[in-house]
């Protein structure tokens, strides 16, 4: 089956100049970040603070308190180093999905600031922001997207003015799985980068390593994925005495192969030749290499933005806010409430 779509172009987005800066505020979960984008869509630096729980997962109320404590300092730093307030044309914020208490801090800061300097307010979809910052930065026109973060793992394509989810995790996000595995080994959040480092060390010290004795369950279910079985099986391998770096390597090989398989099938079904990676797990060099290999074997191409734009950041929120302002309309105050369960395909995509 081939789903035909018209190929939009990022070019038209950049040829429109807003004549000023859009500020973006991110506060969906562990990160509070304020960043910006200029009038033609070039993202600036984000100033960020991260919740790093010593043990256990993120507590929404504690994370919200952290964001409230850091918001003023972060805004001051942005305005002293990066942005002149009189250049600001709009304030964008993550409206969802995310943790309610955390989202409400970002939304409150955004409303106050927009009111104070009398510019439009724009509520944006965090998942769509991960996509659009990559599309703008990598010059992809009409890619299949592999959005791999802590809370989300989705394979997406644009169809009829929405980003449609063609496949997704049925249980936990891939980053969440890596973080939980790492936490059980005493590695603090975020665990993904440390798992990557251990896996790389294992492979460089054991270049002829095979997956014999390190097999994990198959994580693909049709076009969907599931990672909790992988997590339990990997924890069992460590308990049975397998070296931790070897298990990290196997975990990455299995989990990433599953994502790449679904992404490849989506490219074939949707008749698209570009693959775009987004979300925090897209920082992983092994995942980047596997995606590049798959795309080139199909005669296509794989793209990923700079690492600081893959993890949650304010500039990606500003990037999407600018597009929404150029091609749509601002968010009215009485529509600016947060949406914890906002889905990727709920947001109309009006821009090229």
Residues in touch with Fe ion (CB under 5 A): 149, 312
Q: Which does 331 bind (CB under 5 to 8 A by kind): ligand ATP, Fe ion, none?
A: none
If one asks whether residue 279 binds ligand ATP (CB under 6 A), the answer comes out as yes
For the residues of 180-221, what is the DSSP string, one character each? Answer: HHHHHTTPPSP-HHHHHHHHHHHHHH-TT---TT------EE
Decide whether 24 or 280 has the Cβ nearer to ligand ATP.
Answer: 280
Which one of 126, 137, 158, 303 is in contact with ligand ATP (CB under 6 A)? 126
Which CA distances in Å does 301 have to 101, 128, 204, 212, 265? 39, 21, 27, 32, 15
What's 332's DSSP letter? Answer: P
Give the contacts of 23 (CB within 8 A, at least 6 positions apart): 34, 35, 36, 78, 83, 88, 90, 91, 92, 113, 314, 318
Residue 119: how many CB atoms within 10 A of its CB?
A: 19
Which CA distances in Å does 12 have to 16, 303, 311, 315, 352? 7, 20, 26, 20, 7
Q: What residues numbered 290-319 form the site for ligand ATP, per CB under 6 A?
A: 311-312
Q: How many residues bind ligand ATP (CB under 6 A)?
A: 26
Q: Which does 193 bind (CB under 5 to 8 A by kind): Fe ion, ligand ATP, none?
A: ligand ATP
Decide whether 74 or 114 has the Cβ nearer to ligand ATP.
Answer: 74
Which one of 146, 283, 295, 323 is in contact with ligand ATP (CB under 6 A)? 283
Q: Which does 106 bind (CB under 5 to 8 A by kind): ligand ATP, Fe ion, none?
A: none
Which one of 191, 305, 321, 330 is in contact with ligand ATP (CB under 6 A)? 191
Burial of residue 348 (CB within 10 Å: 0-12, 13-18, 19+) is: middle
If one asks whether residue 53 binds ligand ATP (CB under 6 A), the answer comes out as no
Distance between CA atoms of 337 and 90, rounded to whole angstroms? 17
Q: Which does 46 bind (CB under 5 to 8 A by kind): Fe ion, ligand ATP, none?
A: none
If one asks whether residue 178 binds ligand ATP (CB under 6 A), the answer comes out as yes
Options 75-83, 185-193, 198-206, 253-261: segment touching ligand ATP (CB under 6 A): 185-193
Question: Which token pair is 208?
Answer: 């002829």
Residue 293: how many CB atoms within 10 A of its CB?
A: 11
CB of 172 to Fe ion, least distance (A): 14
Q: Which does 192 bind (CB under 5 to 8 A by kind): Fe ion, ligand ATP, none?
A: ligand ATP
Q: Return residues touching ligand ATP (CB under 6 A).
A: 28-30, 126, 130, 149-152, 173, 175-176, 178-179, 190-193, 196, 279-281, 283-284, 311-312
């Amino acid at each position: 089956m081939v789903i035909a779509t018209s190929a939009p172009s990022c070019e038209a987005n950049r040829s429109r100049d807003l004549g000023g800066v859009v500020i973006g505020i991110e506060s969906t979960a562990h990160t509070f970040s304020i960043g910006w984008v200029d009038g033609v869509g070039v993202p600036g630096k984000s100033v960020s603070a991260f919740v790093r729980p010593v043990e256990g997962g993120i507590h929404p109320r504690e994370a919200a308190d952290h964001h409230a404590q850091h918001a003023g300092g972060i805004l001051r730093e942005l305005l002293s180093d990066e942005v002149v307030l009189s250049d600001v044309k709009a304030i964008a914020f993550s409206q969802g999905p995310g943790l309610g208490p955390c989202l409400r801090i970002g939304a409150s800061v955004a409303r106050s600031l927009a009111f104070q300097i009398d510019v439009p307010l724009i509520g944006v979809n965090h998942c769509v922001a991960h996509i659009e910052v990559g599309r703008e930065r990598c010059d992809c026109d009409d890619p299949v997207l592999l959005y791999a973060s802590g809370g989300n793992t989705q394979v997406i394509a644009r169809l009829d003015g929405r980003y449609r989810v063609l496949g997704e995790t049925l249980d936990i996000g891939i980053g969440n799985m890596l973080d939980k595995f790492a936490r059980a080994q005493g590695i603090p959040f975020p665990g993904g980068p440390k798992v990557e480092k251990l896996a790389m060390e294992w492979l460089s010290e054991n270049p002829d390593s095979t997956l014999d004795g390190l097999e994990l369950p198959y994580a693909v279910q049709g076009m969907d994925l599931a990672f909790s079985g992988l997590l339990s099986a990997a924890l069992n391998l460590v308990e049975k005495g397998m070296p931790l770096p070897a298990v990290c390597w196997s975990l990455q090989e299995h989990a990433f192969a599953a994502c790449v398989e679904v992404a490849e099938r989506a490219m074939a079904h949707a008749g698209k030749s570009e693959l775009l990676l987004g979300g925090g797990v897209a920082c992983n060099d092994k995942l980047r290499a596997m995606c590049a290999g798959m795309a080139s074997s199909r005669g296509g191409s794989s793209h990923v933005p700079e690492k600081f734009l893959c993890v949650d950041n304010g500039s990606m929120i500003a990037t999407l806010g600018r597009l929404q302002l150029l091609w749509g309309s601002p968010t009215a105050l009485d529509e600016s409430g947060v949406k914890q369960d906002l889905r990727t395909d709920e947001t109309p995509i009006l821009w090229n």
